[in-house]
């Protein structure tokens, strides 16, 4: 049920590989803490890889939005990579698809920063 996060660097971009569920409670908190952590370490180009995120609820959607605004307020950029169909549908329904910069190719996403 819980979410896991692995962090790596590619050409100056911090990529967070998320896996599991981003839901109210543990998943949302893990995402918030992870983004806060990489911001504190100086990262300003952050790419969230959602390829292995199986499920996001409204709290998780809210946490993605909060991460986006946190990074933006810190003078950085946050982009999304590899959305599953369900997550893609969720962002379409909530009209957040136009808010986020969304990519399905990691090299292209990294180059876009």
Residues that bind other proteins (CB under 8 A): 1, 23-25, 57-59, 61-63, 65-66, 68-69, 86, 90, 93-96, 99
20, 27 contact by CB (below 8 A): yes
Contact 81, 50 (CB under 8 A): yes
Residue number with CB closer to other proteins (41 or 85): 85
Q: Rounded to the nearest whole angstrom, what is the least distance from the CB of residue 78 to other proteins in the complex?
A: 12
Closest to other proteins by CB, 51 or 106? 51
Residue spans of alpha helices (H) in the chain: 26-40, 58-73, 85-93, 106-111
- Of 46 and 110, nearer to other proteins (C-beta) is 46
């Amino acid at each position: 049920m819980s979410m896991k996060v692995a962090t790596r660097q590619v050409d100056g971009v911090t990529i967070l590989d998320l896996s599991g569920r981003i839901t109210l409670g543990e998943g949302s908190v893990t995402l918030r803490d992870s983004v806060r952590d990489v911001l504190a370490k100086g990262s300003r180009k952050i790419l969230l890889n959602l390829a292995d995120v199986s499920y996001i609820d409204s709290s998780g959607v809210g946490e993605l939005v909060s991460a986006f605004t946190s990074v933006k307020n810190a003078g950085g950029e946050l982009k999304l990579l590899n959305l599953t169909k369900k997550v893609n549908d969720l962002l379409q329904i909530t009209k957040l698809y136009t808010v986020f910069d969304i990519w399905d190719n990691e090299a292209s996403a990294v180059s876009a920063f």
